[in-house]
């Protein structure tokens, strides 16, 4: 029988409170000396082309470009699913979202959240002696039982969900009033408590700065011990907010200003590592939770050559920029064209730190060989494109099979402007086979030319359906686990 989370942590000696046991503390430090700090910077709705080295236009990202020059840039890196909560569940657990039953973007007061029985990156790393801090957007359930302190983090400051969402007890200014948007008051949470209400759009202008300040403080306070810093910016998710430091700074306008401030934040974090003499001993990972929300027009980012954006299974949805730096282990100025995913972060960190993998099945693979630039390494050759528990496609190597489904689309509709959204189209797209190496924009179905490839990818899809289910074909997955359900004790929020 699979052990519970607590049994697993106790059995593997990872019971979190190791700092209380001198003998175990020594063991923690022994492991930690060989293990790097981990800084994981996760942005919200930043598009594939929204970093200088990925082709950004109208704004610059010198710190991210510098990070890529000192480390590795991934061309084919996937968030597991192109929507906030599902994507975050995967990053922190190494599991496709259907495996842990987190779907879409959880609303305030949601009855479900990330099951605290799941083992997160923070659980794993805390178990081997790391200090763990989360600053920024959480979005894996806003009931207290689902918040970061219950999921392996020692510290938390941030918004429990997206910056465009209403708390359950907010009695309702409509989202649009005339031609102006009204935005709701938001609970800024510290630990498990509401620290203050962010109730003016102007307050959102300070979010990037405030999260950054907490991240820097966390680095400074933990410079002597290994740490895991999860800095999950609310930006550039709408409504956009940027401080005076960067307002009006970019040619592109507000969206460019917001990205430039995120780049400033990256620079501040890197400077803090330098200041504490930690740069050589820290693995820095930068990526985004999903592609741009394109119907917000000039308040959305860019996918460059990719088809569609957020909320779709075409490449513009889940394919995101990803940069990793670890001096001495990751070669400088490297470009990785192999597939990799946020799913792979947890097992890779487990391999690096010697932490035990979770006892229940996960979907990520250890990509350390890719990070080390081993030319023949190919740990992830297959990716399953889930969205809202629908298996919408699978990829093997350069081939991507898309299955007929109804989708949000940004094609043929007029986007909004200056913070107002435009409509979606809702086409049904046909089953197709795309050659991503020669057709990165998924324009031409080549099914008829490659029947063997079609057969193989259809077999891969059957494995996915049997394992994690598929609403498109009415399949139940054999390995789907339950979400966390809100307890009575948590029902007050
Ligand atoms: Mg997002």
What is the total count of domains within the chain? 2
- Same domain assignment for residues 366 and 393: no
- Same domain assignment for residues 263 and 245: yes
The verdict on residue 314 lying in a domain is yes
Which contiguous run of DSSP H or E holds residue 112?
Answer: strand 112-113
Strands in 322-429 per DSSP E: 322-325, 334-341, 382-387, 390-396, 399-402, 405-406, 428-429
CATH number for 449: 3.30.1120.10
Q: Which residues contact 467 (CB under 8 A, 6 or more apart)?
A: 99, 477, 478, 479
The verdict on residue 237 lying in a domain is yes
- Same domain assignment for residues 196 and 166: yes
The verdict on residue 355 lying in a domain is yes
Q: Which domain-ending residue is among 317, 345, 380?
A: 380
Taking the centre of ligand 1 as the mean of its atom positions, its distance from the CA of residue 424, in whole angstroms, is 17
- Same domain assignment for residues 157 and 52: yes
- Same domain assignment for residues 375 and 413: no
The verdict on residue 22 lying in a domain is no
pLDDT at 20 (0 to 100): 33
Per-residue pLDDT reduced to its tens digit, 95-147: 999 999 999 999 999 999 999 999 999 999 999 999 999 999 999 999 999 99
The verdict on residue 356 lying in a domain is yes
Q: Which domain-ending residue is among 353, 380, 407?
A: 380
**Is 336 known to be catalytic?**
no
Between 310 and 8, the more confident residue is 310
- Same domain assignment for residues 330 and 396: no
Identify the active-site residue in 139, 233, 249, 299: 139
User: How far is 319 from 288, CA to CA, in rounded Å?
Assistant: 9
- As a 3-state breakdown, the chain gives helix, strand, coil percent values, each rounded to 5, of 30, 20, 50
Taking the centre of ligand 1 as the mean of its atom positions, its distance from the CA of residue 444, in whole angstroms, is 28
The verdict on residue 3 lying in a domain is no
pLDDT at 32 (0 to 100): 41
Identify the active-site residue in 18, 28, 84, 95: 84
| Spatial contact of 371 and 324, defined as CB atoms under 8 Å apart | yes
The verdict on residue 28 lying in a domain is no
Name the β-bridge partners of 285: 40, 324
CATH number for 66: 3.40.720.10
Between 99 and 25, the more confident residue is 99
Per-residue pLDDT reduced to its tens digit, 363-420: 999 999 999 999 899 999 999 999 999 999 999 999 999 999 999 999 999 999 998 9
Taking the centre of ligand 1 as the mean of its atom positions, its distance from the CA of residue 188, in whole angstroms, is 18
Taking the centre of ligand 1 as the mean of its atom positions, its distance from the CA of residue 238, in whole angstroms, is 10
Q: Is the pLDDT of residue 256 over 60?
A: yes
- Same domain assignment for residues 106 and 69: yes
- Same domain assignment for residues 221 and 164: yes
User: How far is 79 from 290, CA to CA, in rounded Å?
Assistant: 6
User: How far is 132 from 464, CA to CA, in rounded Å?
Assistant: 33
Q: Are strands 399-402 and 112-113 parallel, antiparallel or unpaired?
A: unpaired
Q: Which domain-ending residue is among 380, 403, 425?
A: 380
Name the band, by pLDDT with cuts 50, 70 and 90, for residue 48. very high
- Same domain assignment for residues 178 and 62: yes
Structure tokens at 15: 């019971």
The domain in which residue 429 lies consists of 386-485
- Same domain assignment for residues 395 and 363: no
- Same domain assignment for residues 404 and 376: no
pLDDT at 21 (0 to 100): 33
Per-residue pLDDT reduced to its tens digit, 177-229: 444 455 668 899 999 999 988 876 668 999 999 999 999 999 999 999 999 99
The verdict on residue 29 lying in a domain is no
- Same domain assignment for residues 375 and 390: no
User: How far is 328 from 345, CA to CA, in rounded Å?
Assistant: 19
Taking the centre of ligand 1 as the mean of its atom positions, its distance from the CA of residue 236, in whole angstroms, is 9
């Amino acid at each position: 029988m699979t052990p519970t989370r607590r049994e697993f942590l106790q059995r593997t000696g990872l019971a979190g409170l190791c700092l209380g046991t001198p003998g175990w503390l020594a063991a923690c430090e022994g492991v930690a000396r060989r293990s790097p700090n981990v800084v994981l910077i996760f942005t919200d709705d930043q598009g594939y082309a929204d970093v200088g080295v990925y082709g950004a236009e109208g704004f610059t990202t010198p710190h991210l470009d510098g990070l890529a020059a000192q480390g590795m840039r991934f061309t084919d890196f996937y968030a597991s699913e192109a929507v906030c909560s599902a994507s975050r569940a995967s990053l922190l657990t190494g599991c496709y979202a259907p495996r842990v039953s987190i779907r879409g973007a959880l609303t305030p007061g949601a009855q479900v959240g990330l099951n605290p029985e799941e083992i997160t990156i923070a659980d794993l790393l805390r178990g081997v002696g790391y200090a763990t801090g989360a600053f920024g957007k959480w979005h894996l359930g806003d009931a207290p039982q689902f918040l970061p302190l219950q999921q392996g983090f020692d510290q938390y400051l941030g918004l429990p969900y997206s910056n465009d969402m209403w708390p359950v007890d907010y009695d309702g200014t409509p989202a649009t009033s005339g031609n102006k948007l009204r935005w709701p008051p938001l609970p800024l949470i510290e630990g498990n408590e509401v620290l203050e209400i962010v109730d003016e759009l102007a307050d959102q202008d300070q979010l990037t700065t405030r999260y950054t300040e907490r991240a820097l403080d966390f680095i400074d306070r933990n410079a002597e011990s290994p740490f895991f810093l999860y800095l999950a910016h609310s930006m550039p998710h709408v409504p956009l907010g940027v401080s005076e430091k960067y307002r009006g700074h970019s040619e592109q306008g507000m969206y460019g200003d917001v990205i430039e401030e995120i780049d400033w934040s990256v620079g501040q974090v890197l400077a803090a590592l330098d200041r504490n003499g930690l740069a050589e001993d820290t693995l820095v990972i930068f990526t985004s939770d999903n592609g741009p929300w394109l119907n917000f027009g000039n308040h959305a980012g860019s996918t460059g050559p990719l088809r569609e954006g957020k909320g779709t299974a075409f490449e513009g949805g889940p394919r995101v920029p990803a940069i990793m730096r670890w001096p001495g282990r990751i070669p400088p100025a490297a470009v990785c064209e192999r597939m990799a995913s946020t799913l792979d972060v947890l097992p890779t960190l487990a391999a690096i730190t010697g932490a035990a993998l979770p006892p229940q099945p996960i979907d990520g693979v250890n990509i350390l060989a890719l990070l080390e630039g081993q030319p023949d390494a190919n740990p992830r050759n297959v990716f399953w494109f889930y969205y809202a528990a629908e298996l919408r496609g699978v990829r093997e190597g350069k081939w991507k099979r898309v299955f007929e489904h109804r989708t949000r689309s940004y094609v043929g509709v007029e986007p909004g402007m200056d913070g107002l959204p435009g409509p979606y189209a809702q086409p049904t797209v046909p089953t197709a086979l795309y050659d991503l190496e020669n057709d990165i924009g998924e324009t031409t179905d080549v099914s008829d030319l490659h029947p063997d490839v079609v057969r193989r990818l259809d077999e891969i899809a059957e494995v996915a359906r049997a394992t994690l289910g598929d609403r498109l074909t009415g399949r139940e997955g054999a390995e789907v686990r339950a979400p966390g359900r809100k307890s009575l004790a948590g029902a007050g929020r």
